Each structure stands twice: as C-alpha cells, then as structure tokens.
Structure 1
Amino acid sequence: MSTQEVSRGRAWLMAARPQTLPAAAAPVFVGTGLAVSMDVFAPLPALAALVGALLIQIGTNFANDYYDAKSGVDSEDRDGFTRVTQSGLIGASEVRRAMIATFALAIVLGSYLVFVGGLPIVIIGLSSVAAGILYTGGPYPYGWYGLGDLFVFVFFGLVAVSGTYYVQAAALARSFPLWLPPDTLPLAAVVASLPAAGLSTNILIVNNLRDRETDMAAGKRSLAVLLGYRWSRVEFLLMTGMAYVIPVVFWLTGSGALVLAPLLTLPYAASIATTVLTKTDGDALNPALERVGKLLAAHSVLFALGLALPGLL
C-alpha cells in the first residue's frame, strides 16, 4: 500500500504500533498473577497499571517515530514497518504533540497509583516517561549508544512486573509510603519479571538485527551494531532460555505444576529462533518481530495463569 492510500486513522494506528503493545501488557499480567498467588490482588491498581503501561508504550512509539525521523536514522532504505513522520503521513509537529499528550495522560493516570504506592511510584513513573523520551530523543539518545536493550530489560521486565505487584501489595497497606513497606516487593516478584524482561528484549534484538546495516550507515550504534550478528543472536538465545528456565525455578521451589504452562510455547519459540539465527532481511525479520510479540503475550498469560490458578482453585 502506498502512503497516498493510507487514511488518517490508519496512519495514527501505524504510529501507535499496536504490535508492540504485548510488551507493555505482558508484565502487568505476570505481576497480577503473582499478586493473586500471594493474596495481595487489588483490581483497581492492577487496571491502572495496565492502562498506564499501554500509554507509556504508545508515547514511546510516538517519540521514536518523531526523533528517529528528525535525526535521520529513518530513511527510504529502512526495512522496518512504515514510520509516519519519515514517510510524511503525519506531520512531525503533530506526532510530537501526540507524544506529549500521551505521556501527560499517563502521568495523570499515574496520580492514582502515586496515591496508592507513594514515592516509589513517583520515581518509577517519571523515570519510565523520561526513559521513553530519551531512548531516541534528548542530547544523549541512549538507544544510539547500545543501551536500548538494557532499557527494555529493566523497564519492560523488572520494573513493570515488580511495580505491578508492588502497587497491589501497597494498596492493602492503605498508606502513602515514602519507601517500600515491608513485604510489598518480595524476591519472587523480581524473579518472576525475568521472562517478560528477556522476551521483551528479544523484540528489540530482532528489530535491531533487521536495521543493523541502515543503523550503521546513519551512525546509530545499537547493541546489534556493536555486537554484530553472531553475538546478538547469542543474546537472543540467552534471553529466550531464561524465559523458560524461570517457570521451572518456580516449580522446583514450591509452585504448582501449572506454573510450567509457558513451556507449551517452546516449539513456537524454537521456530522463531530458527529465523533469527539464519536471516537478516526485513522480509523474514518483520514477521519474526511480530511473532516474538505474540510469544511474549502467550508466555506471559500462561505464566500468570500458572501462578494465579492454584490460589483460586
């Protein structure tokens, strides 16, 4: 489809990049599943965490679209999905305003989570918004210097899962904590975050493997540019392996056998890995990118159910 044939609504949908939203929703599912299993489930904070995570993801997508076009990293040679700013589907100023409005809405919604979770949520919320903007914007866009993978691992894994659990546990305390109240952030929440962290990072790895040559030409030093194809693929395999080791760890440490449900997705993960290990072109890696998002969603839902169901049955 040519850019002239794209409707206004379709263009905004492309800018929001709905195929990336599993990366935002998945860790909330896992954190909520763990909260149910540990009897701290609180529906309103869980819902607010989900909507807030989706808004931050969409705002980050707008920011990447805008700043990558302004910096010149997006070009006609890029194999990835259409970027609306670079292609002229939506004006740069409009995308920038949409970015600001989306992050502002996330902050407004976050005020409820601040009321529930106190100062820790202020720190998490503001740092998440800042990280989303500074990934490709600001004086030192860290996505250009090999730090994008670390950002995704931390914010879409460790912070998102642990933060979702925390706001539900903190809601039961009914106070405005200035720091983490006792028992609101157990080690289990951090460990449970690792599969979502790994598979979310894999989304970026596939994206950067696809764009490696054009990123190099534009001067963008993503981790895939720095590591090369071989070691980026090793990173992909390590992240994938971790996602399947952690459910086994939970099972061995006392969780019911249902927690092993994510292992049902192993054949799908293996088929994706085959593509990532052998292909570099957009025709192969664009579908693989979407499949990693679907894997993340399926793995996280199964993991969340495996954690939650024993406590509900």
Structure 2
Amino acid sequence: MKSATTNPSRLSNYLLAIRPKTLPASVSPVLLGTAAVPLDSINWLLALCALGCALFLQIAVNLANDFFDARSGVDSEQRLGPTRVTHAGLVSETQVIVALSLSLIIASICGLVLVAYSGPLLLAIGLLAILATFAYSGGPFPLASHGLGEITVLVFFGWVAVMGSYYIQTHHFSWHVFALANALGMILAAIMLINNIRDIPSDAAAGKKTLAVYLGATRSRKLFAILMILLPIFHCLAFLFSATPNIPGILLPLIITIPLSIQVCRELSQSEGRMLNSLLAKTAQLSLIYGAATSASLVFI
C-alpha cells in the first residue's frame, strides 16, 4: 500500500472511492419499492429518506471495501479494476475512515427518520445493514472473501431495499413486491458477479475466495446467464401476484430490458480482464433501466 500523496483534485479521488457508476444499484431498489405504492399514498419524505439511507450505505460499503482490501493485500498491482484510492495512496486511510463514518452518519440519520415512522423492525434491519457494511470486506469472516458477495447484495440491495421502501409506506408485506425485489436482485447480483469474474486472478492470488474464484470463469459466466434468465421469470411472477395484473404493464419493462440483458451476456462471453470494467457499468445501468421501466409501468399503466 502506497503512502497518501497530495493531489490537487481531492474531490475526484473521493469520487473514485465511492464508485459513482455502481450507485444505480442503490437507487433502483428504492425507486421500485416506492413505485409499487399507490401514488396518492406515498409519503415523499419517507421515500427521500429511504433513498438517502440506501445511497449512503452503498457509499459506505464501497469505502469500507476500498479500505479493507488495501489492508488485507487483496488490492495489488495485479488488480484489473478501477484504481482503489487507499492502495494507490490517493487518499489516506484516516481520510477514508472519516468519509466512511460520515456516510454512515448520514445513512443513520435517514434511517432514524424511517424508524420513527415505521417502528422497531426498521431499526433491527438498519443495524444489520450497518453490520453488513463492515462484514462484507472486514472482520474475522469477510463475506466477500467466502463466496457470499452475490447473496449479500441480493439480500440487502434486493430484498431489504425494495421491500423496505415499500414497507415504510404501507406497513405490510407483499408477494408482488417480493417477486419484483428478486427480479431486480438478479441484476444486482450480476453486477457483483462481473466484478468478481474480472478479479479472479488477483483475488485468487490474494486468497480471496469469491464465488467466481470457487466456480471459475466459465461456470461464473454461465451463472451470469442464469441470473439474466431468472430476471424476466421473477418479473412475470410479480405481475401474476399483483391484484390488478395487466399485459402492457408486464411487457413494457421486458421489451426494454431483455434485449439489453442479451447484449450484456454476449459481451461477457467475449470480454476478459479490463474489458469487463465497461460491462460492469452497463450492467449497473441495466439495473436502473429495469427499475425505471418497471416503476413507470406500475405508476402509469
């Protein structure tokens, strides 16, 4: 790990650390969960707080990952992904911890507003989310280093974020929304999977056993294709669970997202190494496109 250096563009270094291209993964679930609520019943303050909570928790996860991977030696000169600021010495460890702490404070403030409206269940879920922020890359059993990165993303950014955004508005559970959470969760898990496929050589060398390291590149690519196949299946199930299913509402998001998911699968089969960086960004964009298209179908169709 290099020592911190003076850089005139400190803001750009922090932007590099929070990984803006991955942030659609926290916006899409809140958008989708909120759109499942009748428009005239939405409390926009709660929706905004849910978005702030999800967004700053993801920023905290990204900063924690940057910090812990530098400390553990996972980040090295072999790394093919974007520059990690702690390892590169662009931002000091202390500065990363301060930024991480500020992100958690903002997320916690937003979360406490949600707890005040929705009760202690949200408090328990929020505490688990904060614990997962550190457990993902750090602690005695880093989840990302034991093949659990994708399932962690599915649980917290799929199930918890989508269902949580819906629950704070309605105070009840919905199979319809749970199926939507799984549909979006397939894309979010796929984002993590592409990241881990790219990093197989460096992760394996550092002893970080991600799911992609366990499966190998070929089977990981097959798993990615399976996730893309499950996306429309869960989507259709969601609308079957809906009290008022309608064909246009089912078809619109699929017409938009299926061609994009096929394109991403094709590119993945032909991409290696640093070429996967742009594909990771495209998959993150796919999550936002699916979330926006499905939200639009829920609200307007």
TM bin (shorter chain): over 0.9
Q: Structure 1 residues 119, 258: closer, same or farther in 2, change over 3 A?
A: same
Give 1:175's aligned residue.
Answer: none
Structure 1 contact 145–223 (Cα < 8 Å) conserved: yes
* Equivalent residue, structure 1, for 2:203: 215
Q: How does 1:1-313 map to 2 (within 5 A)?
A: 7-36=9-38, 40-170=41-171, 184-252=172-240, 254-256=244-246, 257-263=248-254, 264-282=256-274, 284-310=275-301
Q: How far has the Cα of 1:202 moved from its partner? A: 0.6
Bigger CA drift: 189-198 or 53-62? 189-198
Give TM-score scaled by structure 2 length. 0.93
Alpha-carbon contact 1:149-1:205 (below 8 Å) kept: yes
Q: Is the 8 A contact 1:251 1:260 kept in 2?
A: no
Give the distance between the partners of 2:182 and 2:8, measured in 1 at CA. Answer: 39
- C-alpha distance in structure 2 between counterparts of 1:271 and 1:294, whole Å: 13
Query: d(CA) in 2 for partners of 1:163 and 1:35?
Result: 12
Change (3 A) 1:251 1:122: closer
Contact 1:117 1:167 in 2 (8 A): yes
Identity among equivalent positions (%) equals 36
Query: 1:106 Cα shift?
Result: 1.0
Determine helix, strand or coil for the equivalent of 2:124.
helix
User: Letter of the aligned partner of 1:289 in structure 2?
Assistant: L
Q: Answer yes or no: is the 8 Å Cα contact 2:179–2:235 preserved in 1.
A: no
CA distance in 1, matches of 2:297, 2:38: 11
User: How far has the Cα of 1:192 moved from its partner?
Assistant: 1.3
Contact 2:24 2:287 in 1 (8 A): yes
The alpha carbon displacement at 1:40 in A equals: 4.1
Structure 1 102/251 Cα, relative in aligned 2: closer, same or farther at 3 Å?
closer
How far did residue 277 of structure 1 move? Answer: 2.1
1:239-266, Cα deviation, whole Å (9 max, x unpaired): 1112222333344554221232222122
| Mapped partners of 2:113, 2:76: distance in 1 | 41
Name whichever of 6-15 and 217-226 sits farther off: 6-15
Q: Deviations over 1:62-96 (max 9, x none)?
A: 10010100011001110001110000000011101
Q: Residue by residue, what CA displacement relative to the aligned partner does 1:187-213 show, whole Å, maximum 9, x if unpaired? A: 112111012111000110000000001
- 1:121/1:251 CA distance change after superposition, 3 Å: closer
Does the 8 Å contact 2:36/2:299 carry over to 1? yes
Q: Which amino acid aligns with 2:216?
A: G
Moved more, 62-71 or 301-310: 301-310
Task: Give me the TM-score of the superposition, normalised by structure 1.
Answer: 0.89
RMSD of the TM alignment (CA)?
A: 1.6
The answer for the alignment partner of 1:176 in structure 2 is none
Amino acid corresponding to residue 257 of structure 2 in structure 1: T
Deviates more, 1:78-87 or 1:185-194: 185-194
- Indicate conservation of the 8 Å contact 2:158/2:188, yes or no: yes
Post-superposition offset of 1:159: 0.8
Aligned to 1:180: none
Q: Which amino acid aligns with 1:55?
A: F
**Which amino acid in the other structure matches residue 219 of structure 1?**
G
Deviation track 1:161-180 (CA, whole Å, cap 9, x = no partner) reads 0000000113xxxxxxxxxx
CA distances 1:86-127 after superposition (whole Å, capped 9, x unpaired): 000000111012112211221122111001111110111111
| Aligned residues of 1:196 and 1:243 also touching (Cα < 8 A) | yes
CA–CA separation in structure 2 for the residues paired with 1:309 and 1:34? 11
- Count the aligned residue pairs: 293
